[in-house]
Chain A
Amino acid sequence: MPDTDLDFQDAALAAEGDSGAFERLYRRHVTRIYGLARRMAGPDDADELTQDAFVRAWQKIAQFRGEAAFGSWLYRVAISVILGHRRRLAIHRERTAPEEWNREGQPSHERSSEIGMDFETAIERLPARARHVFVLHDVEGYKHHEIGRMLKITAGTSKSQLHRARMLLRATLA
């Protein structure tokens, strides 16, 4: 059976309260959700956000109606959890100056120079807005109008933030 069919079956069981079925969904999707969380929010918060995303998905799974693939639905849930986390953090942390590399979530042991820096690390160090748009557009394949809705920005802002992220990331290509 293809994974999408297995997903539908397990999602229906999970909606009935079957946590075993939900664990199978977790196993099939955790790597992608974790990758999303790590790139969007940094490695320090990725574990917790991945867990938050799956807990939220469990709570909302009765709302999954199977119009889209379960993976796409789960992605939306995860993105809203990750962005919500970002908004909560913003209350407690000082805002990063817009033109600076983002230092949030940067592991202290990784102080590599920008040239030759690991591409993943370079993504983590992008300013938050540019990083979110870049990950959602160039890594995950969302369109600007979709990103605009998720981030509550215009499609035009999404485009300019994407360009900014790409321009900053050129420095790591050496």
Chain B
Amino acid sequence: MSDSTDTWRDRLSDYLDGALEDSERSELEEHLEGCEECRETLVELRQVVARAGSLVDAPPARDLWPGIAYRIRETEEGERRGKSFTFSVPQLAAAAVTLVALSSGIAWQIASGFSARQAEPAVSVAQAPAQTGLLLASRIASHDYESAIAQLERVLDVGRERLDTATVRKVEEKLALIDRAIDEARQALSADPSNAYLNQYLAGTMRRKLDLLRRTAALTEL
């Protein structure tokens, strides 16, 4: 029988795997009696199956673990970062851009009245947001608040002697309260970085601090 018409050939794997019905199996066995080609094919298929079953696994040529260990750390850190970024940064950034733009602009105005050296960092920050708000937004983080606050604190230090003692004490008390609130919010956030409420609370508290410093700094100008 020729290859093209011998449909039994296509049944040989099923026969080998014991997957044929009884009736079909005996028919095929009958066919094998008279078909040398199918007999040969069956022998070869058996050899293929035997080879497949006796393959030996070779280990990879290089140690793949360092790459896995690296990626495991990455995904873990990514998950942590991802959680805190999802909610907090857009909110913080949106607030911070406005605040840094406003407050450092004012800081610059105040600082320019005192000394050129004090004013330098404030000027560079103050000019940036006006032109490149988007660029700034992309790199804004809570430390931008802190740098704005630090600038205002320097301004206040320089202008402190112009304020009366009562005002300084009042401002310092308020600042201490706000600082404690900021610390508490930060601690809570480190345990629950994705908490939207805490992020807003922290941003709000820092805004209060910035506002207080700004108003106080404005007083030193009078």
Residues of A near any B CB (own CB < 8 A): 17, 19, 22-23, 26-27, 30-32, 34-35, 39, 46-47, 50-51, 54-55, 58-59, 119-120, 134, 138-139, 159-160, 162-163, 166-167, 169-170, 173
B residues in contact with A173, CB < 8 Å: 44, 47-48, 51
- Given A34-B57, A51-B68, A166-B45, A139 contacting B13 (CB threshold 8 A): no
CB closest chain-A residue, reference B47? A173
Candidate in B51, B52, B65, B75 with the most chain A CB atoms within 10 angstroms: B52
B residues in contact with A163, CB < 8 Å: 10, 12-14
CB closest chain-B residue, reference A134? B52
Interface size for chain B: under 10, 10 to 19, 20 to 34, or 35 or more residues? 20 to 34
Alpha-carbon distance A32/B52, docked complex (angstroms): 14
Asked if B58 is an interface residue, CB under 8 A from chain A, the answer is yes
CB closest chain-A residue, reference B74? A55
CB closest chain-A residue, reference B71? A55
B13 touches A119 (CB 8 A): no
Chain A's nearest CB lies how many Å from the CB of B101? Answer: 41
B68 touches A55 (CB 8 A): yes
Asked if B67 is an interface residue, CB under 8 A from chain A, the answer is yes
Alpha-carbon distance A52/B71, docked complex (angstroms): 9
B60 contact from A23, A34, A55, A138, Cβ within 8 A:
A34
B residues in contact with A58, CB < 8 Å: 68, 72, 75
A22 touches B48 (CB 8 A): no
B72 touches A19 (CB 8 A): yes
Chain A contact residues: over half helix, strand or loop, or mixed?
A: helix
A138 touches B72 (CB 8 A): no
B14 touches A46 (CB 8 A): no
Alpha-carbon distance A139/B53, docked complex (angstroms): 5
B19 touches A159 (CB 8 A): yes
A residues in contact with B67, CB < 8 Å: 51
Asked if B55 is an interface residue, CB under 8 A from chain A, the answer is yes
- Given A47-B60, A138-B49, A170 contacting B55 (CB threshold 8 A): no
B65 contact from A26, A120, A134, A138, Cβ within 8 A:
A26
B72 touches A166 (CB 8 A): no
Chain A's nearest CB lies how many Å from the CB of B39? Answer: 14
B44 contact from A31, A159, A170, Cβ within 8 A:
A170
A31 contact from B48, B49, B52, B59, Cβ within 8 A:
B59
B residues in contact with A120, CB < 8 Å: 55
Alpha-carbon distance A51/B63, docked complex (angstroms): 10
B residues in contact with A134, CB < 8 Å: 52
B residues in contact with A139, CB < 8 Å: 52-53, 55
A31 touches B58 (CB 8 A): yes
Can you sample 9 A-B contacts with CB below 8 Å? A19-B73, A30-B60, A31-B59, A32-B57, A39-B55, A54-B68, A58-B68, A162-B13, A166-B13
Ranked 5 nearest A-B pairs via Cβ: A35-B57, A138-B52, A163-B13, A170-B44, A31-B59
B residues in contact with A55, CB < 8 Å: 68, 71-72, 75
